[in-house]
Amino acid sequence: MLLTDVLATSAAVTATRSRTAKATAIADLLRRAAAEEVEPVTAWLSGEVRQGRLGIGWRTLSALSGPAAPEPSLTVLDVDRALAELAGVTGPGSAARRDALLRTLLGAATADEQHFLVRLLTGELRQGALEGVVLDAVATAADVPAPTLRRAFMLSGRLPETAALALTGGVDALVAVRLEVGRPVRPMLASPGSSLDAALADLGSEVTVETKLDGARIQVHRDGDLVRVWTRTLREVTDGVPELVERIRALPCTTAVLDGETLALDDDGRPRAFQDTMSRFGSDASDAGVLLSPFLFDVLHLDGRDLLDEPLAVRLDALAGLLAAEEHAALRMPGVRRPTPEQAAGVLEEALAAGHEGVVVKALDAPYAAGRRGRAWQKVKPVHTLDLVVLGAEWGYGRRSGRLSNIHLGARDPDGGEPLMVGKTFKGMTDELLDWQTRTFPELTAERAEWGLRLRPELVVEIALDGAQRSTRYPGGLALRFARVLRYRPDKTAAEADTLDAVRALLAGHPAD
């Protein structure tokens, strides 16, 4: 298969907002792909390279650009082999070797192929083919049940490999995928709940109500003395969190897969700023001045027994047994099982009084549906919050002159298109945040305008708001009411931002999703 075939499909996907049309176009291409081509094709149509981040920026690629090939000749495997070679270059002379490899690759590409490769390598290939659309396409191309495919993807955490399994081995290969200690599972996510009463009315009395921390999601795997820790995006951070490793290694088990959150606490046991917690997952990960505390709320595997498909009630019993000893009790996420309405309200009140965000209401009969936002888990906060994508920023005036201030906010298109603008805000910004935006946003610029910058849709910001209303002002047909910035979310990608459906759920009289 030629690279130009992938470009044609990419263009077709970009040209339509129909989720069905996108999936059909991708499925047609996957059917034509040879077995060894499925993984790279799937990765590229998801906007990624299967070798992971290669650390190649616009400046490098611009300096290496040269004459384009007159006719397409590059194959999918040619490009994949070149990327694999690039990923493997290390040591003395590596920069010159990488430049030579890139120059050869781009020199063999047509102008359109060069444009595609540059966007792919810099993480800016936006085709509207989000994960869900590609999964639909794989299920169609391989003629396998979508739930079976999603489960295999949940357990493997890797879309290209899952696609290859489906297209080469069918249902049997997908069913054979099992949870493996040491391989992270895509985390189950909670949907926003409109209120505690509404969540309880929706899920009934067979629920647990747990504290919602203002922390970072973690997934911890233990195999004997080996403990590994991943973030919600499945990025391993084990080396940067030795205190978490030590706490898990002390538990009375041999193998385990645990789900929870971690955050930094002050001397009074109250949560420190979210940025303090996140600093441990960035360049300051070794900062011993910020210690993290783990809070576990689920167990997916324990001493040889997989618990994914068990009801939450069974998983919580297993977790309670694991943390039964007094020295481990503090690791359990606070909460109450089968609470009365008064007890549930008490959990929320205590969580807020302790400085936490709110509560999560969870159905006790629900299995672990990894990688999905279902109704079985609903997070309730005293104010509505949404995780939105920053699409642009306007130059400020008056006291904010010379700084990027008013930001444009977009919700994710549930059908896989580009994020749709639903509002603007300059509220909630400190001077420090304004300075950070002014330093950072130019690096993400897609287009400069007299009023400010249009940005590549990469940054996620958490917004507090009073609700939403219908509006013709913005492409999404909705507008946020009294939106203000709470914080940026470096732990989330644009693909994890809230959808237009989540905004629509905040319309007066509209039931929450």
For the annotated catalytic residues, the residue numbers are 212
- Provide the H-helix boundaries in 1-130: 3-14, 19-32, 38-45, 58-64, 76-87, 94-107, 111-121
How do 373-380 and 189-192 pair as beta strands?
parallel
Secondary structure (DSSP) of 210-242: EEE-SSEEEEEEEETTEEEEEETT--B-GGG-H
Given a contact cutoff of 8 angstroms between Cβ atoms, the answer to whether 211 and 347 are in contact is yes
Residues 437 and 390: beta-carbon distance below 8 Å: no
CA distance 122 to 257: 34
C-alpha distances (whole Å) from 197 to each of 147, 344, 376 are 31, 9, 15
User: Percent helix, strand and coil across the chain, each rounded to 5?
Assistant: 40, 25, 35
The residues that bridge with 304 in the sheet, in sequence order, are none
39 token code pair: 């993984």
Burial bucket for residue 101 (CB in 10 Å: 0-12, 13-18, 19+): middle
Spatial distance between the Cα atoms of 349 and 206, rounded to a whole number of angstroms: 21
Quickly count: other Cβ atoms within 10 Å of residue 121's Cβ. Answer: 23
- Residue 143: what residue type? D
- What distances in angstroms separate CA 170 from CA 38, 50, 139, 166, one per listed residue? 14, 21, 10, 5
HSE-CB at 92 with a 13 A cutoff on CA atoms is 0
Is 315 within 8 Å of 299 (Cβ atoms)? yes
How far is 411 from 414, CA to CA, in rounded Å? 9
DSSP 456-477: -TT-EEEEEESEEEE-SSSTTS
